[in-house]
Structure 1
Amino acid sequence: MKAAVLHGIRDVRIEDVPLPDPTGVGSTLVRVDAVGVCGSDVLRFGTGKGYGFPLVLGHEMSGTLAEDSPSGRLMAGTRVAIFPCLPRPDDPMTEIGEYALGTDYDYFGSRRDGGLEEFLQVPERNLFALREDMTLLEGAMVEPAGVALHAVRKAPVPANATALVIGAGPIGMLAAQWLRVLGATRVIVADVDARKRALAERLGFETIDAAAGASDEQALESTGGRGVDIAVEASGLAVTFLQAINAAAHAGHVILLGDLRDDAVLAKEIVSRILRRELVLHGTWNAKIAPRDRSEWDMVIAHLGRTVNVGDLISHVVDFEDAQQSFTALADRALWSNKTIFAVSDAARSEASAALARSFSAEVMA
């Protein structure tokens, strides 16, 4: 089979590799269809941040079963989303369904080869059947949508809640949509990028031009000085982390969704604000796939393409054999992009034109 193998920094090669070995008890062979590009993938390509080489990137994945699952719950031909975290069976956190909070877990696309190859062996519990009306490209968006849902569920949503999301990238826009689904009355989205703000407005959100002034100051002004009940930091910057804290109202909740690229220094005034306003800061990581049928991933699959729009987030669909060129462009920021998805199978390639024709991100890119 073919795979896009990362051999070193900025060095991806399309190669013939053996079919993957089973990943323990309950493993199922899956044809990979579509793979989304995460910022962490770009960092692994561009800077080598990760667990060594060679490596096949890709953890935001959809696929089609090449065989029946061991239990018979999923049949060959079923289209699925693939949860990338592979917990250690004897980890205490695995026993309570907190797979991503365990230690010494494995992970597709970072600690083991991921989705930019034609087939994977995947444990049955990591496979989630897509709705019949979902596309394979939407299936590749289940993982980031799950990350965003897991984050915003950390904070209770009070009656008539106001929320602020700083950062209108794909994760930020998914967080904003989940806040609305979960009951927030008013969701404000802040970003420096006019095209991303245009997308937020298309999806029905108020926006703040973060290039015109500090997001926290504008949010405080727009709420009459009260602040927001929930502030989500989705940019990954120290300055926006501090802005999220400063924008929170009394008894507000601050969700740290972005992985900071620089150090944040908590001045005593910020610490005093946390204390005097009794703010709650939430760390968040990944998503939960337990209990089966009532997990966050089950909720994601129920909502995507219905109450949560992922199609408008997709700006590029490219063939996975063009991985070197595509990752180079992303690492160099040589073109504007919102969400890039690699089409690995012919089935995913056939969806690309129709998906981009409907996508607002592709429209503003053009």
Structure 2
Amino acid sequence: MKAAILNGLNDLEYADIPEPEPVGENPVLIRVGAVGVCGSDVLRYGHGKAYHYPLVLGHEFSAIVEEAPDSPHLSAGDRAAVFPLLHRHGDPMSEIGEYALGTGYDYFGSRRHGAMSERMWVPEQSIFRVPNDMPLTHAAMVEPAGVALHAMLKVQIPTHATALVIGAGPIGALAAQWLRILGCSRVLVADIDDRKLETMSRLGFETIDAKTGDTADLARAATDGWGPQIVVEATGNPKALIQAIESASVQGQVVLLGDLSGDLHLAKDTVSSLLRRELRLYGTWNAKVTPKGRSEWDMVIAHLGRDLHVDELISHVRPLGEAPAVFRRLTDRSIWYNKVLFAVAAEAQEEVRTS
């Protein structure tokens, strides 16, 4: 079968690889519907962050069930999103359903071959069915939407809350939408990218052009000097995290959603202000997919296409065979992009052509 396989630094090849082998309990053979490009994929490609080579990238993906020999709940043709983390049985955190907080786990597209391929075997437990009329590109957004939801569920949203999201990329845009869904009266979004800010404006958000001044100053000016009660840092830029801390109101909450791109130095005055304002800082990682039927991923699927909008965030959908060229352009930033996906299955390619 065909796959986009990373052979080394900046060396991605679209080539034939062996058919996959069953994995996990009640393995299900799937055809990959669509697969998204995460920022971590770009780091693995262009910055040497892969665990090993060769590696098939891709952990944000949708699927069409091909065979489910041991499952009475799945049928050929069912559409699904697939949770990419394979927890280790016997791990204490996994035993209480906190798979992402466990140790010794496996991971599609990171520690083992992922979804930039035509077919995969996945454990039945990893399958989350979606409506059969949901576009496969939208179903591939369940994973990042789940990451954003998990982060936003960390905070307590007070009455008439104002929130600020720093970063209007896909994760920041999803976080902003979740804050609105979860009850924030006002959500501001800051970025330096005009096109991403335009997208957020079309989605009904107030925007802050961070090119025009210090984000913390602009956020306070937009809130009568108080600052937002909730601030989400969604860029991974160390400077933006400092701005997030400086933006927050008294007893504000700051969510660290972006994975930092470098070391962070906090000045003594910043730490003193953090203490005296009694800020709460939240770390967040991945999503919680238990209990099945009432998990964060189930909540994402219920809201997709209703009040959670992903189509506006998708800037490029290309065939998987173009992956080597696409990754080169993403790495050298020769194209503008927001969310990039590959349409793998013929059904996904047809949906893109007719949309």
TM-score for the superposition, normalised by structure 1: 0.95
- 1:265 maps to which residue? 265
CA distance in structure 2 between the partners assigned to 1:298 and 1:111 by the alignment: 25
CA distance in structure 1 between the partners assigned to 2:3 and 2:133 by the alignment: 29
Describe the superposition over 1:303-325 as per-residue Cα deviations: whole angstroms up to 9, x where unpaired: 01110110010110001011100
Counterpart AA for 2:110: S
Q: Could you say what secondary structure the match of 2:187 adopts?
A: strand
CA distance in structure 1 between the partners assigned to 2:350 and 2:333 by the alignment: 27
Instruction: Determine if contact 2:65/2:75 at 8 Å carries over to the other structure.
Output: yes
CA distance in structure 2 between the partners assigned to 1:344 and 1:88 by the alignment: 29
CA distance in structure 1 between the partners assigned to 2:353 and 2:47 by the alignment: 32
Describe the superposition over 1:59-95 as per-residue Cα deviations: whole angstroms up to 9, x where unpaired: 0000111112623112121100010001101111111
Instruction: Determine if contact 2:59/2:108 at 8 Å carries over to the other structure.
Output: yes
- 2:219 maps to which residue? 219
Q: Could you say what secondary structure the match of 1:250 adopts?
A: coil
Q: Does 1:332 align with 2:326?
A: no
**Structure 1 residue runs of 4 or more that deviate by more than 2 Å after TM superposition:** 68-71
Relative to 1, partners in 2 of residues 1:73 and 1:191: Cα closer, same or farther, differing over 3 Å?
same
Q: How much does 1:24 deviate?
A: 2.5
Q: Give the % identical residues.
A: 57
RMSD (CA atoms): 0.9
Counterpart AA for 2:88: R
Q: Could you say what secondary structure the match of 2:212 adopts?
A: coil
Q: Could you say what secondary structure the match of 1:228 adopts?
A: coil
CA distance in structure 2 between the partners assigned to 1:69 and 1:306 by the alignment: 33
- 2:147 maps to which residue? 147
CA distance in structure 2 between the partners assigned to 1:331 and 1:33 by the alignment: 24
CA distance in structure 2 between the partners assigned to 1:59 and 1:339 by the alignment: 14
Q: How much does 1:25 deviate?
A: 2.0
Q: Give the alignment of 1:1-366 within 5 angstroms.
A: 1-68=1-68, 70-355=70-355
CA distance in structure 2 between the partners assigned to 1:218 and 1:24 by the alignment: 50
Counterpart AA for 1:321: G
Counterpart AA for 1:46: G
- 1:359 maps to which residue? none
Counterpart AA for 1:130: V
Instruction: Determine if contact 2:78/2:132 at 8 Å carries over to the other structure.
Output: no
Counterpart AA for 1:346: A
Instruction: Determine if contact 1:69/1:124 at 8 Å carries over to the other structure.
Output: no
Q: Which runs of 5+ in 2 are unaligned?
A: none
Q: Could you say what secondary structure the match of 1:21 adopts?
A: coil
Describe the superposition over 1:23-66 as per-residue Cα deviations: whole angstroms up to 9, x where unpaired: 13221111111000001101111112120100000000001111
Instruction: Determine if contact 2:151/2:257 at 8 Å carries over to the other structure.
Output: yes
CA distance in structure 2 between the partners assigned to 1:263 and 1:225 by the alignment: 29
Counterpart AA for 2:333: R
Counterpart AA for 1:202: R
Q: Could you say what secondary structure the match of 2:109 adopts?
A: coil
Q: Could you say what secondary structure the match of 1:34 adopts?
A: strand
CA distance in structure 1 between the partners assigned to 2:162 and 2:202 by the alignment: 19
CA distance in structure 2 between the partners assigned to 1:208 and 1:292 by the alignment: 38
Describe the superposition over 1:145-199 as per-residue Cα deviations: whole angstroms up to 9, x where unpaired: 0000001110011110000000000100000000000000000000001111100
Q: Could you say what secondary structure the match of 2:7 adopts?
A: strand
Counterpart AA for 1:92: P
Describe the superposition over 1:279-309 as per-residue Cα deviations: whole angstroms up to 9, x where unpaired: 1100000001100111000000000111011
Give the stretch that moved more between structures: 125-134 or 325-334: 125-134
CA distance in structure 2 between the partners assigned to 1:29 and 1:2 by the alignment: 16
Q: Could you say what secondary structure the match of 1:292 adopts?
A: coil
Instruction: Determine if contact 2:318/2:343 at 8 Å carries over to the other structure.
Output: yes
Instruction: Determine if contact 1:69/1:75 at 8 Å carries over to the other structure.
Output: no
Instruction: Determine if contact 1:30/1:120 at 8 Å carries over to the other structure.
Output: yes
Counterpart AA for 1:76: A
CA distance in structure 2 between the partners assigned to 1:43 and 1:255 by the alignment: 23
Describe the superposition over 1:91-144 as per-residue Cα deviations: whole angstroms up to 9, x where unpaired: 111111111111111000010000011111111111000123311000110000
CA distance in structure 2 between the partners assigned to 1:286 and 1:69 by the alignment: 29
Instruction: Determine if contact 1:69/1:76 at 8 Å carries over to the other structure.
Output: no
Q: Could you say what secondary structure the match of 1:249 adopts?
A: coil
CA distance in structure 1 between the partners assigned to 2:69 and 2:202 by the alignment: 41
Instruction: Determine if contact 2:27/2:68 at 8 Å carries over to the other structure.
Output: no
CA distance in structure 2 between the partners assigned to 1:204 and 1:147 by the alignment: 22
Q: Which runs of 5+ in 1 are unaligned?
A: 356-366
Give the stretch that moved more between structures: 138-147 or 259-268: 259-268
CA distance in structure 1 between the partners assigned to 2:130 and 2:51 by the alignment: 31
CA distance in structure 1 between the partners assigned to 2:214 and 2:72 by the alignment: 54
TM-score for the superposition, normalised by structure 2: 0.98
Describe the superposition over 1:325-348 as per-residue Cα deviations: whole angstroms up to 9, x where unpaired: 010010110110111100111111
